[in-house]
Amino acid sequence: MQKSMINQGILNEDRISELPEALLVLILSLLPTEDAIATSVLSKQWQSLWKLLPKLKFNSHHHSNELGTFSKNVCKVLLSHKAPVLQSLRLMVCLEMCNAMDTEKLIETAFARNVRELVLHAGAGEWLLYPKTLYNSETLETLELKFFVLMDVPSSVLFKSLRTLRLHYVDFKNDESVFNLLSGCPNLENLLVHRDPFNSTVKTLIIAVPSLQRLTIYNYSNKLGYVIKAPSLKYLKIVGNLGDGSCLIENNTTELVEANIIHVINEKLMKSLTSVKRLSLQVSALKFPTGRIFYQLEYLELCINYAAWWNLLTLMLDSSPKLQVLKLIDPQLSRREDLGDQGKWNQPNNVAECLLRHLKTFVLISYKEELKEEIEVAKYILKNANCLKKATFSIKGLNSDKRVEMLEELESVVRVSNSSCQLLLLCK
């Protein structure tokens, strides 16, 4: 009986509260903010723990439909916040429950708490005009605006510490607003722009940021264009539909070392990428411009879910004399593009210089069972890549018989051409 009572006492013992305060705050930070605040009823010790949370997240849809209730509750939390630094505030607001004036008050309070990251997501409905009084912050390092946010940016804007700016379906009042915003971020390094093809007042976005190092553009309308003036740019990713001439890169691009181009066919853009060392392409071989030499390219990743993709591969091998790593990837669940009469793989008349002198790593990733052309291409590379050290094949869905057959076929090529090459076949 006594032993049972002792065991019961152990079970009832509050061991969590004995943990260090910093660890308790870390545990609370893993919960939704509202749930973390709710722990204040557990005991006197827990009443103030949530006030030390470094990151706060609120969604107006989780609150009463009564206008003003959401903003009043969030404002109360912000005013009670005691952490030395408010690292992040994420607000998802709907104007039906939190009007523009209340939203301004919340952001203003966060700025007063020296917030480092602000994420503002305006829900469906009327557009939320980003408050003109909140274009100045000494401490803000990351700003992310989503959906129905309209920016009318004054010339007095200054985000001195801003390093990352992400704009998802945000609209600008005019060209001047774009210029003012980017000019007011003297230390901006990372910019993401995801434009709305139906609600974009500014048709040609001029991205003039001397300090910019990483730029990501999502664009699904050939009616929208870009002029990029970023001499410090090191990484560029463009996804979507851009017509020829709708994306111009001005200034010298010698700093650009990595690019990821998806669905974009733009001859002038490709001309600006000839200095990159790493390149990922998901484009149609039938429309890809020719005549470009990628003298510095060492890493190439090609998406092979397009018709006659091997023609683009041949072109890129010939155009990349220093290539060391080649990856051919057929994305899982990807749609097949341009799949008419694909023809078949024909070996080039001449072996590319990169195969003879530099290629060290080859990877093929596919989710298809029918791999006739892929295997023919792979055998050609295994046969002619004199410096190849490792070849990896990740093929999903192969049964054991096909796996053995494929491995024997590839090994026979390696034995004859390059016995030092490590061959790895992964099948799941």
Q: Residue 338 above 50 pLDDT?
A: no
Structural domains counted in the chain: 1
Going by pLDDT thresholds of 50, 70 and 90, the confidence category of residue 31 is confident
Backbone angles phi, psi at 137, to 5 degrees: -155, 135
User: pTM of the entire structure?
Assistant: 0.86
Structure token digits, residue 383: 């046969």
Which pLDDT value is given to residue 406?
A: 82
Measured between alpha carbons, how far is residue 415 from residues 168, 382, 390, 401, 410 in Å? 52, 10, 13, 21, 9
Going by pLDDT thresholds of 50, 70 and 90, the confidence category of residue 6 is very low
* Beta-carbon contacts of residue 412 (< 8 Å; ≥ 6 apart): none
Is 267 among the domain residues?
no
Alpha-carbon distance 382 to 311, whole Å? 18
323-341 average pLDDT score: 71
27, containing H or E segment: helix 21-29
The alpha-helical segments, DSSP class H, found in 306-348 are 309-319
Nearest partner of 324 among 273, 395, 371, 387, judged by Cα: 387
Structure token digits, residue 336: 């097949």
Which pLDDT value is given to residue 5?
A: 46
Is 349 among the domain residues?
yes
Alpha-carbon distance 95 to 109, whole Å? 19
CB-based contact 427:403 (threshold 8 Å)? yes
What are the tens digits of pLDDT across the range 197-209? 888 899 899 999 9
The pairing of strands 142-147 and 158-159 is unpaired
Judged by DSSP in three states, 383 sits in helix
Alpha-carbon distance 406 to 394, whole Å? 12
236, containing H or E segment: strand 235-241
Structure token digits, residue 27: 């545990």
Task: Give ∠ CA 143-148-150 in degrees, rounded to 5.
Answer: 70
Check residue 41 and report its DSSP letter: G
* Beta-carbon contacts of residue 175 (< 8 Å; ≥ 6 apart): 202, 206
Q: Residue 234 above 80 pLDDT?
A: yes
Check residue 131 and report its DSSP letter: P
Which pLDDT value is given to residue 339?
A: 47
Is 320 among the domain residues?
yes
What are the tens digits of pLDDT across the range 184-197? 999 999 999 998 88
Which pLDDT value is given to residue 300?
A: 98
Which pLDDT value is given to residue 55?
A: 87
Task: Give ∠ CA 322-326-327 in degrees, rounded to 5.
Answer: 160
Structure token digits, residue 320: 């990349």
370-388 average pLDDT score: 89
Is 168 among the domain residues?
no
Is 18 among the domain residues?
no
What are the tens digits of pLDDT across the range 239-256? 987 765 578 888 777 889
Is 229 among the domain residues?
no
Q: Residue 45 above 70 pLDDT?
A: no
Structure token digits, residue 132: 């003109």
Task: Print the domain residue range for 320.
Answer: 277-428
What are the tens digits of pLDDT across the range 134-154? 999 999 999 999 988 999 999
316-330 average pLDDT score: 95
Percent of the chain with pLDDT over 70: 84
Alpha-carbon distance 298 to 315, whole Å? 15
* Residue of 385 and 369 predicted with greater confidence: 385
Going by pLDDT thresholds of 50, 70 and 90, the confidence category of residue 64 is low
Is 346 among the domain residues?
yes
Alpha-carbon distance 82 to 86, whole Å? 9
Is 294 among the domain residues?
yes
